[in-house]
Structures are given as C-alpha cells and as structure tokens.
Structure 1
C-alpha cells in the first residue's frame, strides 16, 4: 500500500478517509523491519508501555471502541483484552507485549480495512448508537476526525521511540 494523505477525490468523506488511512499506514510503517524484542523496547523508564508494540495494540483497540462499540453499538461479546483482566486499564497494551509484532500489524491492517467497509454506507452526520457513559452521542465525522488526531498523536510518540530503539527517523 502506498502511503499518501492526498485523496483521489476532493469531497469531505474522501479527504477524511485519506487522512485516516495515511495516519494508520504511518503507524504501521514505524514498525517496519523491527524484531519483536525491538518492538517491545520501552525507552521511557517511567512508562513501560510506551513501546511500538503496545502503541499499535492501543490503536487497534481504540478503533474497535470508537467504531464497533460506540458508533455501531455492537456488544463486546467477550472479544476485548479487558475481558481477560477487567482491572487492567491498559489491557490492550499489555496484551500487545505477548503478541508477535507481525500479528499485531496484520490484525490492525485487516481491522482498518474491515472498518472502512463497515462505515462506507453510513452518513458522516449519523450519530453513535452507544455513547460512552456520561457523554452524548457523536457523529461519525467526529469519530473519524478523533481517530485521525489520536493516531497522529501516537505516531509522534512512535517516532521518538523508534529513533531511540534503532536510530530510524521520520517514516
């Protein structure tokens, strides 16, 4: 897949999806060529989960939460990392430490493709079916823009971690 932030068409949806897909592909690219050990290296002493594997795991489950749970209202049905340990607020990140990097990246890529198909027929103004507790429903547009922001912010973290791990920069 070629990474580009330029849409093939200039309507709002195409632009948002191009930016989202670019952020997703950039996150995956930051892990290219790493061993499992390198992907689990946490160079920030006070933050043992700040490593590339855990960040990919986090991004995967953030999208699950916003698209499947919040927007589409699909019940969990025992498929999340929190089902194994409900007290681990970072379960998606600790699970990633036990998962091969190739599996994390493949799962995330497949999930992104699946979500693009799931939301393709939904209007950007459509509201979420299952908002987070204490919050109002949000539109699909808001969710997609939030995901662009979330993934891009973590891409910055991943840039720093990758540079410390093996010297690679700005992928």
Structure 2
C-alpha cells in the first residue's frame, strides 16, 4: 500500500507538469518564496528521492546540489532546466528508489542526515507526505502559470 500511494503521488507530479513551457516552469510567482517554481519543485523532489533512498538507506555519498552559502541549489537549478529534462531525471531517480525499496524489508533501516535511524517504512511514509505536499505547491504554481487546474 505504501509503495502504491507513493507511486500515485509521483505520477501526479508528472500530470501537474505536463505540457508546461520552460518559461512558465521557471517562473517564481510567489513573492515570499522566490525559489518556488515548478522546475524547482521537481528538482527538489528528485533530490529528496536520492537523499532518502540512496544516501539514507544504502549509504551512498551526499552529492547534493547545495552548499552552506547556497542551501537551495536544487531549487535554483531546477528553474534553469527544461521541464522534460527534469521529469526524465525524476523518473530515473524514482526508478532507482523503487529498486532500493523492493530489495529491502520494511523494517530494514538506514541513517538519516541528522543521525537518526529510520526504517524503509518510515522513509516511504515520509516520501508520501513530501511528494503530496509538493503536489499541492505544483497545483498552485501551475494554476498561476497558465490557469491549468486538476485533481
């Protein structure tokens, strides 16, 4: 059930971005959130998939697109990349995440960036929450961009 819900939310990311022009995907229409763009959201979701599944659960190296001076690197870079390229990278990362989840048991654990031990089950629930929350952002951003609304 957890993997099915996560996949549903992942596919919703695609639906929210379908057919969006580059200039609209790069737009940051929220004055209080200057990094919040459709491209930024997709790049961020790609990054958190990597961080939780690959870094936390398999111990891979942190290759995050940020620095202490520029903590929002994935958000900035996402606004610069074409939507089709971002969605392809997101699809590839989600496929790697699925493979990791399929190879583990729900109670297998890894180490979060803050040192906590978390299980695959915890990561799946967190990623459902994270992806669903950002789908809400994509709803607003897409409607502001071109008036498109949806589920």
Q: For residues 34-49 of structure 1, what are the structure 2 equivalents within 5 Å?
A: 34-49=20-35
Give, in whole Å, the separation in 1 of the partners of 2:144 and 2:113: 36
1:81 aligned residue = 65
Compute the TM-score of the two structures, normalised by the length of structure 2.
0.94
1:7 aligned residue = none
Q: Which segments of 5 or more consecutive residues in structure 2 lack a partner in the other structure?
A: none
Larger Rg: 1
Q: Which structure exhibits the higher relative contact order, with contacts defined as CA atoms closer than 8 Å and separated by 6 or more residues?
A: 2
Give 4+ residue runs of structure 1 displaced > 6 Å after superposition: none
1:90 aligns with 2:72: yes
Q: For residues 94-133 of structure 1, what are the structure 2 equivalents within 5 Å?
A: 94-128=76-110, 130-133=111-114
- Aligned-residue CA RMSD (Å): 1.3
Cα displacement string for residues 46-78 of structure 1 (whole angstroms, at most 9, x for unaligned residues) = 2121111000011010111111111111123xx
Equivalent residue in structure 1 for 2:6, among 20, 28, 31: 20
Q: Which segments of 5 or more consecutive residues in structure 1 lack a partner in the other structure?
A: 1-14
1:54 aligned residue = 40
* More displaced stretch, 92-101 vs 30-39: 92-101
* More displaced stretch, 107-116 vs 140-149: 107-116
Question: Which structure's residues are more often helix, by fraction?
Answer: 2
Aligned residues: 151
